């Protein structure tokens, strides 16, 4: 086990063992996600040391792999979920832990415009896990929960009117989609308490990938949440349990970026929140898993284009969507070239470094991992590693172009038995398995079972098993 003092604030792609990573492709194929569970634990311990008095919830959407959820829950994290499917995963992970009492107290469901089937499933789960908390971002959701007989633990997500983050698409603090306007929060919560809900918290989230230079925005946001918590406590006579200021703690993707000044963020958070008769809750996701994961991909095409060396790989935007969706930068390393330098003549400086555009197999011009980046000259069958792929990598993978999703392995230690297949590679049969044949009389048409529009809210023809 790595001690906190030995754990670096950021794990760069260059810090990974090239030989070990390349061998994984030989054993498990390409493309392949690899995740180091001990690094996930290190990141949790560092954050917990900076926020010793806070409740820490892991934002499951960053990486919902069961091994990750179990590892973080064992370390002490709760699990914050954005869908019923994530709640199902979280409850299973919590129940597998010796730390859980089975009540669901360490699982939160944050409902954003929740589909009926999600609410149905979560309310059913609440019957068996009565301490589960549901966070709502609209008065409509409170009404819909009441219609389903839910009167359990309720947290209100508010819209503070301040946002920050690494891209416009992940700034949430001021977006109309998220939360009840903060100025209406006290009235909404007072009404919910009057109706019998167990009001336990207030919540907001500034955005994803917040950096050290956005600390002023973070401080202003947390101060508003502190003011709100004091107002709510006055209105509810001190019944508030927690103030959840979300996560969004950024990690450095570029090689020359400095890691987040976690101690400064923690101190600013405590100062801005002020004296509140409720515990501070935070819910990072990316911070725990981003630099714990890499995507491995094999070069299959190398050609001289007009202005660059075009390098084709077997991973694409269906494997790692972030570069196409957010224009996100991910470090790339040619593992094969690096191993040649390590194993050949020490005086050999390796391959020539040339500008390269690395692209995937998807029929889209946006299916590009980098453009004109200086890398050792690629050759067919080289293995490349794409860094910081542990967060929002596999979670955003998809089957566009009818491409099966990749396999995932977890690494937990240094021995020969420390690597394990965590998700098998999908097959073409997996891609088509959910399709139905309209001519098959044994296939029931769900539309025939639909009730009138007024009753559709209660209908659930896609149960989550």
Do the annotations mark residue 160 as ligand-binding?
Answer: no
Which of 401-410 are b and which e, b meaning 16 or more Cβ less than 10 Å from the residue's Cβ?
Answer: eebebbbbbb
CB 297, CB 311: distance < 8 Å: no
CA distance 250 to 165: 8
Q: Which residues pair with 421 in a beta bridge?
A: 409
Do the annotations mark residue 74 as ligand-binding?
Answer: no
Which pair of structure tokens corresponds to residue 296?
A: 């491995």
**Annotated active-site residue in 81, 155, 363, 370:** 363
Which pair of structure tokens corresponds to residue 407?
A: 């396999």
With CA atoms as reference, report the closest residue to 141 among 176, 164, 112. 112
Do the annotations mark residue 392 as ligand-binding?
Answer: yes
Q: DSSP of 83-111, one letter per residue?
A: SHHHHHHHHHHHHTSTT--SS-TTEEEEE
Q: DSSP of 187-237, one letter per residue?
A: HHHHHHHHTT-EEEEEE---BSSB-GGGHHHHHHHHHHHHHHHHHHHHHTT
Q: Which residue has the tokens 């349990």?
A: 241
Q: Which residues pair with 107 in a beta bridge?
A: 79
Do the annotations mark residue 89 as ligand-binding?
Answer: no
What is the total residue count of the chain? 465
SS3 157: strand
Q: Which residue has the tokens 């470094």?
A: 353
Do the annotations mark residue 364 as ligand-binding?
Answer: yes
Do the annotations mark residue 322 as ligand-binding?
Answer: yes
Which pair of structure tokens corresponds to residue 364?
A: 């889209």
Q: Which residue has the tokens 């560092």?
A: 46
CA distance 431 to 396: 16
For residue 81, indicate whether it is catalytic: no
Do the annotations mark residue 99 as ligand-binding?
Answer: no
Helix boundaries (H) for 10-148: 18-28, 37-50, 66-75, 84-95, 116-128, 139-147
**Annotated binding-site ranges for pyridoxal 5'-phosphate:** 248, 283-286, 392
- Binding-site annotation, residues: 248, 283-286, 322, 326, 364, 392
Q: Known binding site for substrate: residues?
A: 286, 322, 326, 364, 392
Instruction: Give the catalytic positions in this structure.
Output: 363
């Amino acid at each position: 086990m790595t001690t906190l003092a030995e754990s670096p604030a950021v794990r760069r792609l260059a810090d990974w063992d090239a030989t070990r990573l390349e061998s994984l492709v030989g054993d498990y194929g390409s493309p392949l996600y690899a995740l180091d569970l001990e690094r996930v634990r290190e990141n949790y311990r560092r954050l917990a040391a900076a926020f010793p008095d806070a409740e820490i919830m892991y934002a499951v959407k960053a990486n919902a792999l069961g091994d990750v959820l179990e590892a973080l829950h064992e370390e002490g994290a709760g699990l914050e979920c954005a869908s019923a499917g994530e709640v199902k995963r979280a409850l299973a992970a919590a129940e597998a832990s010796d730390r859980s009492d089975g009540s669901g107290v360490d699982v939160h469901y944050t409902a954003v415009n929740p589909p009926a089937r999600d609410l149905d499933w979560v309310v059913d789960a609440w019957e068996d896990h009565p301490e589960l908390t549901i966070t709502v971002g609209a008065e409509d959701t409170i009404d819909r929960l009441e219609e389903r007989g839910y009167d359990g633990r309720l947290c209100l997500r508010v819209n503070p009117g301040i946002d920050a983050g690494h891209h416009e698409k992940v700034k949430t603090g001021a977006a109309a989609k998220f939360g009840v306007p903060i100025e209406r929060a006290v009235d909404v919560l007072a009404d919910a308490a009057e109706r019998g809900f167990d009001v336990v918290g207030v919540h907001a989230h500034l955005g994803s990938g917040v950096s050290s230079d956005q600390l002023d925005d973070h401080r202003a946001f947390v101060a508003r949440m502190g003011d709100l918590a004091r107002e709510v406590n006055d209105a509810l006579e001190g019944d508030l349990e927690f103030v959840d200021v979300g996560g969004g703690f950024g990690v450095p993707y570029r090689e020359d970026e400095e890691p987040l000044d976690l101690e400064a963020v923690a101190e600013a958070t405590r100062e801005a929140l002020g004296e509140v008769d409720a515990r501070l809750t935070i819910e990072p996701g990316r911070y725990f898993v981003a630099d714990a994961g890499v995507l491995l991909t094999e070069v299959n095409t190398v050609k001289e284009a007009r202005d660059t060396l075009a390098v084709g790989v077997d991973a694409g935007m269906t494997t790692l969507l972030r570069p196409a969706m957010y224009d996100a930068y991910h470090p790339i390393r040619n593992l094969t070239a690096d191993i040649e330098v390590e194993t050949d003549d020490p005086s050999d400086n390796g391959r020539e470094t040339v500008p390269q555009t690395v692209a995937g197999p998807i029929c889209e011009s946006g299916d590009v991992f980098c453009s004109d980046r200086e890398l050792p000259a690629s050759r067919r069958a080289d293995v490349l590693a794409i860094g910081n792929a542990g967060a929002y990598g596999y979670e955003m993978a998809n089957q566009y172009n009818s491409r099966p999703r990749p396999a995932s392995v977890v690494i937990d230690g240094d021995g020969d038995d420390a690597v394990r297949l965590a998700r098998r590679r999908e097959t073409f049969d997996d891609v088509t398995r959910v399709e139905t044949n309209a001519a098959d009389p044994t296939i029931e048409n769900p539309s025939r079972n639909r009730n009138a529009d007024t009753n559709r809210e209660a209908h659930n023809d896609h149960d989550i098993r």
